[in-house]
């Protein structure tokens, strides 16, 4: 193999390695964003009440917005919606004009 071929091969390997590492980091961050349903469901009844949600630091308005079927309890999917939407809505940066 000549020098050019070795450089192309090394660049391809480095690119694949970077893509693999980035995919792993993305998967890890996606998994860490999901709440632990069992930690919220303190009485182990299979659903999270408003009281259980608030004890874990949640806000009532987030609970009510995520309660899609309006049964006053959150399923695991609704809990993800309540916690992920809260963390993904970062405040808009404020620009100061002079």
Distance (Å, rounded) from C-alpha 81 to C-alpha 66? 6
Query: Which value, in Å, is the radius of gyration of the alpha carbons in the chain?
Result: 22
Residue 88's pLDDT is what? 47
Which percentage of the chain shows pLDDT scores above 90?
33
Per-residue pLDDT at 33? 59
pLDDT digits (tens, 9 = 90+) for 48-87: 999 999 998 989 999 999 999 999 999 988 898 888 755 4
The sign one gets for the Cα dihedral 10, 13, 14, 15 is positive
pTM over 0.75, yes/no: no
CATH number of 35-89: 1.10.238.10
């Amino acid at each position: 193999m000549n020098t050019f071929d070795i450089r192309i091969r090394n660049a391809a390997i480095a690119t694949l390695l970077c893509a693999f590492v980035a995919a792993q980091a993305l998967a890890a961050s996606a998994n860490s964003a999901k709440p632990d349903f069992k930690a919220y469901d303190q009485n182990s009844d299979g659903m999270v009440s408003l009281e259980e949600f608030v004890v874990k630091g949640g806000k009532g308005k987030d609970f009510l917005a995520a309660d899609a079927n309006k049964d006053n309890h959150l399923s695991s999917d609704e809990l993800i919606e309540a916690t992920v939407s809260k963390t993904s809505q970062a405040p808009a940066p404020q620009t100061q004009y002079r």
